[in-house]
Amino acid sequence: MTAVTRPALRTDARGERLRLLHVHAHPDDESSKGAATTARYVAEGVEVMVATCTGGERGSILNPNMDRPDVLANIAEIRREEMDAARRILGIEQVWLGFVDSGLPEGDPLPPLPAGSFGTLDPDEASLPLVEVVRRLRPHVMTTYDERGGYPHPDHIMCNRISVAAYDHAADPAWHPELGPAWQTPKLYYSFGFHLDKTMAIHEAMTSRGLASPYEERLRDWKPDPEMENRITTRVPCADYFGVRDHALLAHATQIDPEGPWFQVPLEVQQEVWPTEDWELVRSAVPTRLPEDDLFAGLAESGVPADR
């Protein structure tokens, strides 16, 4: 009988398995932002961990089928169960940082955030549990959102702040040495989701096929920001994993409406028109050449068997 050949792990020059740490604000963000990239790297033997800042306790129920009293009464527990299901689909490890969801304030003027919620905290102090995760995992790459949070949710903005703080503090042996030996993560990225070029390309592909585009209204109100668009440095081909991403998204049933705009663009249109997920390299301790097509570009690698 011929032995089954295991895929090689992706490793660095020392033969260590490559490690990727995504930092997200809420459960479901790991599936809506960069999940196809995650699935591709898992398939290639990269160790991937998601650090989830909050439990999503104040998140709205966005799927009408789940907008029920029993769900509202147990939202924190249900969102943990959804996260666990998505984690298994993506093939990742996941850790909760233990902060409390701030909610998305509405009104004019905006009301203050709830006392003690994630968005009210000091970023240096709030970075401590993430520093511990970084030092324990020793990732080669970290990702988070840009300084605007990707969109102006207070938890997404704070997620950026503690991620950048943890990236720096984890490398400083004098900073809370009780959290573990210092670790300099080689690369830090910001994720870019539905930026203008991508949204416009998919919109035009839909209309050219005689299909209704879910982005028509959004594009009508979009204020172009060329400086932001030009920040993308890295486009990771991952179209083969869009289906895994969608499966993980659907695991977050309180947040994702299967009849909603997420799923109005046929998978084959997305794969043809925009087959990448896009990122900005913001810190690098290794030389690399831009533009990139791999978050691990610049890290010398060698292949080793998966059962090493």
Q: Which residues of 140-163 are buried (b: 16+ CB within 10 A; e: fewer)?
A: bbbbbbbeebbeebbbbbbbbbbb
pLDDT tens digits, residue range 146-188? 999 988 899 999 999 999 999 999 999 999 999 999 999 999 9
Q: Are 56 and 101 in contact (CB under 8 A)?
A: yes
Nearest to 47 by CA among 58, 38, 36: 38
Mean pLDDT of the chain, nearest integer: 92
Is 26 assigned to a binding site?
A: yes
pLDDT digit string, tens, across residues 24-82: 999 999 999 999 999 999 999 999 999 999 999 988 787 777 878 787 778 889 999 99
Q: What is the pLDDT of residue 93?
A: 98
Annotated binding residue 155 = no
Closest CA to 158 of 280, 29, 277: 29
116-144: pLDDT as tens digits? 999 999 999 999 999 999 999 999 999 99
CATH classification code of 19-193+231-284: 3.40.50.10320
**CA-based angle 172:175:179, to the nearest 5?**
105
Closest to 46 measured CA to CA, from 21, 83, 14: 21
> What are the sequence ranges of the domains in the chain?
19-193+231-284
pLDDT above 70 covers a percentage of the chain that reads: 95
Write down the pLDDT at residue 6: 47
Q: How far apart are CA 236 and CA 269, in angstroms?
A: 17
Does residue 191 register a pLDDT over 70? yes
Q: What is the mean pLDDT of residues 242-271?
A: 94
29 marked among binding-site residues = yes
